[in-house]
């Protein structure tokens, strides 16, 4: 029996999120549920797999990390191939490798990196809207970049998200936050932190877009970080968000 670390990519459009739902919620489709079905076909006898995070309904991933114990007599790459043979088309194992026996993808992580995609256009674009939020009026990139710089460092983000448990801290350390232009009308927001509050990235994107459209001031965000209150709360749609990768100590590449 060995512990394996697998990096997953998935299109979150038709999932209720990563986490398997309770039976009381009916047979709702989750990423975890699909992975566990595939693992059982490979002889896995565990009750639940471990994951770096629980992405919400509609959120995508390019670098979700899971771990599980499995009696496997072949190579790690053959495990990746076998998983993909049993997984549906909207989930894929990108890599598989042996991990330390006590490895935990959530608790051993140093940072998580998310990216949010949006584009500025007056009319709908069906070929883009599956993975990006359409906003109009257009936002000012230089203003977004100014707001993003405020987020870097250790702050109390209670105005921008909620802890999974009411008694938990809302202080998080953002290591990087940056907006970039992507194509003619697209923009992407990259943010890395030691951990994130529930809905934190989507709330941060929403507030920054409000500033970029002139509905809020940069000072409102600064005040929100200091006081824990925002004058215009809201949340950007899930379909623009991607979990890009998770960083671990001594991670190769």
Could you give the CA distance from residue 253 to residue 240 in angstroms, rounded to a whole number? Answer: 26
Catalytic residue among 56, 90, 156, 245: 56
The rounded distance, in Å, linking the Cα atoms of 243 and 7 is 11
Alpha-carbon separation of residue 22 from 19, 51, 66, 198 (angstroms): 9, 17, 20, 19
Q: Helix, strand, or coil here: 182? A: strand
Residue 90: active-site member: no
Q: Which residues does the annotation mark as catalytic?
A: 56
């Amino acid at each position: 029996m060995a512990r394996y670390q697998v990096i997953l990519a998935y299109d979150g459009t038709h999932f209720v999120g990563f986490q398997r739902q309770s039976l009381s919620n009916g047979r709702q489709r989750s990423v975890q549920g699909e992975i566990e079905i595939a693992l059982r076909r490979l002889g896995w006898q565990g009750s639940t797999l471990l994951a770096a995070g629980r992405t919400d309904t509609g959120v995508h991933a390019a670098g979700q990390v899971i771990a599980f114990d499995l009696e496997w007599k072949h190579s790690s790459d053959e495990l990746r191939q076998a998983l993909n043979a049993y997984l549906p088309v909207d989930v894929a194992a990108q890599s598989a490798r042996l991990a330390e026996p006590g490895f935990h993808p959530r608790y051993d992580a140093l940072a998580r990196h998310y990216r949010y995609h949006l584009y500025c256009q007056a009319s709908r674009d069906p070929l883009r809207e599956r993975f990006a939020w359409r906003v109009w009026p257009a936002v000012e990139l230089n203003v977004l970049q100014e707001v993003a710089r405020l987020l870097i460092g250790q702050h109390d983000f209670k105005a921008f998200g909620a802890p999974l448990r009411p008694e938990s801290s809302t202080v998080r350390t953002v290591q990087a936050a940056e907006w970039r232009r992507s194509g003619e009308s697209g923009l992407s927001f990259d943010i890395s932190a030691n951990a994130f509050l529930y809905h934190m990235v989507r709330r941060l994107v929403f507030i920054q877009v409000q500033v970029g459209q002139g509905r809020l001031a940069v000072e409102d965000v600064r005040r929100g970080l200091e006081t824990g209150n925002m004058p215009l709360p809201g949340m950007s749609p899930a379909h623009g968000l991607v979990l890009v990768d998770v960083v671990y100590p001594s991670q190769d590449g």
